[in-house]
């Protein structure tokens, strides 16, 4: 009923009320996971329909994009609160056709879609959402550039948006990936931030963490290689060098 309500002010009020009641009773079996995901699927199908329609320059029902994205964001909050949002993350990360069509939809109509991505970044960054390395990477591969493109609009148009929470979530999401992947993403961000400023999320904290990790790892590998060469220099009795190290370690 909330998802289909016609009065926007009343919908916002009832969303807050329903979320509060569900949170207070989250330990009880008051709402099945299947029901929530069925509602998600309905909203996602409507979003896809209207988004791809708008990408083809048909803006007749373009307001439905923001509405269905807002519905998804609301349901996602409930899923995260109940710790059952992993399947939603996988589904959202797989929406390559939506991400590909993203640039063809006017930013004023599409930025609410990126709020869904932002909520996932926050969830992953806080440890509220557990996902495999491949799924986290796919999320960034699919949605990071559209998220960057919409960040300025989100910052200006979304009331109550906590940009620092989102930036921390994005940083932490990137830092969960292998170092080589972090490097590709963060160097691309560095270049974009220099040219976009406030319209790009500021994730310099994540950049600093990656920098320290990358150089510590490289210097550590060089030191281990040097030590290995030292312990094997004696052809007559290689154990001569290893035994003292073993005793010191003991």
Residue 187 belongs to a domain = no
Q: Which domain holds residue 67?
A: 8-177
Q: Is residue 44 part of a domain?
A: yes
Question: What pLDDT score was predicted for residue 198?
Answer: 87
The reply to whether 153 falls in a domain is yes
Q: Using an 8 Å Cβ cutoff, are 199 and 158 in contact?
A: no
Supply the pLDDT for residue 218.
61
For residue 228, being part of any structural domain is answered with no
Residue 28 lies in a domain: yes
How many domains does the chain divide into?
1
Q: Give per-10-residue mean pLDDT for the chain (250 aa).
A: 89 91 71 90 96 94 94 95 94 96 95 96 94 94 97 87 94 94 95 92 95 76 50 38 33
What pLDDT score does 30 carry? 65
Predicted pLDDT at 241: 37
Residue 41 lies in a domain: yes
Give residue 53's pLDDT: 95
Q: What six digits make up the tokens of 201?
A: 């999320």
pTM: 0.83
């Amino acid at each position: 009923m909330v998802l289909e309500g016609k009065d926007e002010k009343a919908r916002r009020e009832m969303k807050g009320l329903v979320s509060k009641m569900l949170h207070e009773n989250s330990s009880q079996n008051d709402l099945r996971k299947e029901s929530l995901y069925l509602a998600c699927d309905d909203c996602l199908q409507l979003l896809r329909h209207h988004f791809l329609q708008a990408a083809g320059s048909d803006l007749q029902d373009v307001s439905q994009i923001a509405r269905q994205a807002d519905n998804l964001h609301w349901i996602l909050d409930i899923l995260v609160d109940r710790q059952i949002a992993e399947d939603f993350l996988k589904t959202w990360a797989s929406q390559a056709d939506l991400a590909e069509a993203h640039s063809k939809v006017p930013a004023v109509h599409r930025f609410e879609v990126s709020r869904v991505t932002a909520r996932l970044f926050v969830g992953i960054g806080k440890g509220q959402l557990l996902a495999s390395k491949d799924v986290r990477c796919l999320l960034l591969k699919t949605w990071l550039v559209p998220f960057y493109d919409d960040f300025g609009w989100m910052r200006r148009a979304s009331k109550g948006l906590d940009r620092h929470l989102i930036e921390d979530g994005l940083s932490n999401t990137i830092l969960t990936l292998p170092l080589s992947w972090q490097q590709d993403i963060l160097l691309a961000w560095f270049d974009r931030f220099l040219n976009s400023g406030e319209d790009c999320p500021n994730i310099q904290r994540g950049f600093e963490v990656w920098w320290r990790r990358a150089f510590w790892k490289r210097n550590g590998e060089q030191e281990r290689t040097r030590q290995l060469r030292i312990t094997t220099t004696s052809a007559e009795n290689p154990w001569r060098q290893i035994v003292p190290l073993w005793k010191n370690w003991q």
